[in-house]
Amino acid sequence: MSELPKVALVTGGSRGIGRACAERLAKDGFEVFLTYVSRPEEADKVVAAIEAAGGKAKAFKLDASDRDAVSAFFANEIKDKASLEVLVNNAGITKDGLIIRMKDEDWDRVIQVNLTGAFACLREASKIMVKQRQGRIVNIASVVGQMGNAGQANYVAAKAGLIGLTKSAARELAGRGITVNAVTPGFIQTDMTASLPEAIVSKMLESIPLGRLGGSEDIAAAVSFLAGPGAGYVTGQVLAVNGGMYM
């Protein structure tokens, strides 16, 4: 019987931080499964880049907030077909607005994707990892989940909840050799920040002791550490990668 491939699953892996994590984990030797909701062409580019570098990857369309779809994905694509070594819960959206103006649907959608979706993937991954008696789960939270941010009550609540989920899951799963940690990125150079006015970026930089925005590769390096052999005794932790803006 052939050995099952050692897979790292990255949700929201078609661009930004997710893409960087997918490419880094492929470099680390994992076969990468990455999910996307829209823009299949972007997901295909990530797969092509990983394969061009000598790695293996597959892309799957999956809305993490659809719990039935998540269950079906794990049952059809991973269970008994792969050794799920790593889950990176990265899928997330923003629908910003002040609390007094926030629409119910904007609150609900952000919570559904950023928190409930992460829970759904964590739950299904846990079922597989418990039987394997090993696994690494890394949740991508945010610095604003630790410090708050005006105009992002829904996003902040979801990311703060993800930190709490991380700590509880770490306690539940430790006995089966599964670690669960969170990474909290600060202000990261992405398509979104690239389009911000210079005055806003300057204001952001004032709050960062290192004096620069982070890169997606900075987050990917932290994920690589938590997924690697050097982090076997690290669980329930929140690793801040934010240039010192929140200590």
Give the active site residues: 155
Phi–psi pair at 66, nearest 5 degrees: -90, 100
Residue 86 pairs in a beta bridge with: 8, 136
DSSP class per residue in 47-106:
HHHHHHTT--EEEEE--TT-HHHHHHHIIIIITTT-EEEEEEE-------B-GGG--HHH
Say which residue the tokens 């607005």 belong to: 97
Tokens linked to 90: 């990265």
Vertex 224: Cα angle to 160 and 242 (nearest 5): 45
